[in-house]
Chain A
Amino acid sequence: MRLYEYQAKSLFKEYGLSVPKSILVHDLEGVRGAFASLAPPVAVKSQVLAGGRGKAGGIALVDDPSKAEHEAARIFALPIGGEKPASLLLEEGYPHEREMYLSVTLDRGERSYVAIAAAAGGVEVESMRGKVIRKVPVEGIDAGFAAEVASELKLPPGESSQFVKVLLSLERLAREKECELAEINPLAVGKDGTLMPLDAKVIVDDNALFRHPEFAKLHPEDEFEGEASRQGFAFVRLDGGIAVVGNGAGLVLSTLDLVGDAGGEPACFLDLGGGAQQDRVEAAIRLVNRLPGADRILVNIYGGITRSTDVAAGIRAVISGGGLKPLYARVSGAEEEEARRMLEGTAVKMYKTAPEAVAAVVKGA
């Protein structure tokens, strides 16, 4: 789960990291008052989860209240990666000389957490020069570890002691809150040499949320994503018209590829999980049938240990409720022929292979 900047920054404060003074506003009415209680210049920052916020025009630096309102209005209306902000963060600007980079993140290939630091940050990590990467033990780091990173970065003594504190706090945050990523980019170096995190990116391990009830209430839920997750489905909303349902993440991903290659556009990704019991199939189809924007449904199920007849029974249960959108299905597995017979005479079209079902749903035939 990715946190909004303002959430990540409140976590930073909890861990003793100083951040610029800021106020969160939920509507235009709040902008003037917030601006008045901050020292200009003030950064107006879109609170969206998508990356590339600055480049997309989601951040503006303003020095008077009417400009603040004008920019806030513009940014509230600006979708970034398809997402419009529900709130803006107004934050005091921090005049600085230099920008550094610091993160604690999972290195999947090395199967370890790593600390990544660079004396010159502000750009993308991949292209950062002179960056230092060190494996972080699962039980945590000490001041000696942090001091070594600082010395590798060749920081002057004043910066070095601050850097050690920042890295220790960030690592403790990442470890205790079970983050996949805790990132400060940029970590600004002020004119007096003070280090100040200007942006904060935190991604919490979804699978560890059961140990962190404090995160449970942070996100407003999309109606469909909320319901899907309550039912135990993996669900991602997409922009097209074909709702794609299947069992198993890899299988549904490969079905999206088949649809895309055939020129179709998926409305969603829904993974039932490995099994495909009747009630699960029924619940999944009912859910995507209500999805606005979806005008057709594609079901791709590899039966495995589930009988095809169970899947067919699930589909029949939805049909009997009425209002089912055109449904194209490929259901393989035991009792395949019997399943086909169960759906004969209904509006559901059955296919023997995934490519056949995909070709048909894309054509709308």
Chain B
Amino acid sequence: MMLPRGRDPVIVQNMTGRYGRLHTKLMLDYGTNVAAGAAPGKGGESVEGVPVYDTVAEAVAKTKARASVCFVPAEFTLAAGVEALEAGIELLVIITEHVPIRDELKLVQLAQSKGATIIGPNCPGIIVPSEKVKLGIMPAPSFSPGNVALYSRSGTLTYEIAGELTANGHGQSVAVGIGGDPINGSTPIQWMDFVQGMEETEAVVVVGEIGGDAEERLARHIEKSGYRKPIVGYIAGRHAPKEKKMGHAGAIIYGDYGTADSKIRALTAAGVKVAKTPMDVPRLVSEALG
């Protein structure tokens, strides 16, 4: 795991696409050092004054970037991810939605073998407000520097909760959208352990949703590892029907597997204060921080 820091050079894959262009500008506006773009066949072009190369390897060679933000469409995400990891990218943020599960598994394996970190796919990325750096698509005004680490399986809901925290005086040390797919490049447990070691983090907010058992696993991990920082949780989907994909590929209940109740029970039993609504999160954070 690594956090992006202030002036670290970052590349953008598929920078010349509609979203690549838009978010290259927004990342630059925020303060991210977007140093190069990669897009096959677009070498020699530029976006917002940032040079574009045909391959990630060239972009890395020119900029020494260790991080990449990937806006490549789902059909080609596996190839783009392999290209980035083979070129030495250590932090790969995949924004793309609808990546096939088997492609995600292959990327996760490759990243593990190289000691690299993937965030996503199907995620808003990562933001470190105190460093004025974001690798992703989140709206900057919702976030502010502070001591609460926030990570979440969703996008806009994260912005909403970050906005509520910000409005109530709780800035964020880091906010990560880990992704709404069944397979996450990095898991809640990995982020939990990572922020435990972050000095500037004094409380953690975990935003989950129906589907899978990531929150139940996290709850067991919290208990077993004797987690030391206060944790506030929120789980979306208490009223969701079963057997239906609710927007995210990973947000689906099968039988009793993946229900919000199961997650809320597990987290509560592990000592996490679980908010009933997103608006309730800041109050619980205030209480947790005493």
Contact = CB atoms under 8 A, between A and B. Distances in A.
Interface of A: 2, 49-51, 81, 106, 108-109, 111-113, 124, 126, 138, 175, 178, 180, 205-208, 210-211, 234, 236, 238, 246-254, 256-261, 266, 269, 271, 274, 302-305, 332-334, 353-355
A178 B244 contact: no
A81 B98 CA distance: 27
Contacts of A126: 255-257
Nearest to B140: A305
A234 B236 contact: no
Given A138-B102, A250-B152, 10 more contacts: A126-B257, A206-B98, A236-B244, A248-B156, A253-B246, A254-B157, A254-B236, A256-B240, A260-B238, A304-B159
Contacts of B141: 334
Interface string B205-216: 001011111100
A250 B101 contact: no
B79 to A, nearest CB: 13
Interface residues on B, range: 35 or more
14 contacts: A106-B183, A111-B105, A111-B184, A207-B249, A208-B100, A248-B154, A248-B156, A248-B247, A249-B154, A250-B247, A254-B277, A257-B238, A258-B277, A305-B26
Interface of B: 22, 26, 74-75, 98-102, 105-106, 108-109, 124, 137-139, 141-142, 152-160, 163, 180-184, 187, 207, 209-214, 217, 234, 236-241, 243-251, 254-257, 276-279
B259 to A, nearest CB: 13
A353 B279 CA distance: 9
B236 A180 contact: no
Nearest to A50: B243
Nearest to B276: A261
A72 to B, nearest CB: 25
B180 A208 contact: no
Contacts of A206: 98, 245, 249
Contacts of A175: 102
Contacts of A256: 237, 239-240
Given A108-B213, A257-B236, A207 B99 contact: yes
A249 B180 CA distance: 8
B26 A247 contact: no
A250 B207 contact: yes
A141 to B, nearest CB: 15
B75 A253 contact: no
B75 to A, nearest CB: 6
A102 B22 CA distance: 48
A30 to B, nearest CB: 29
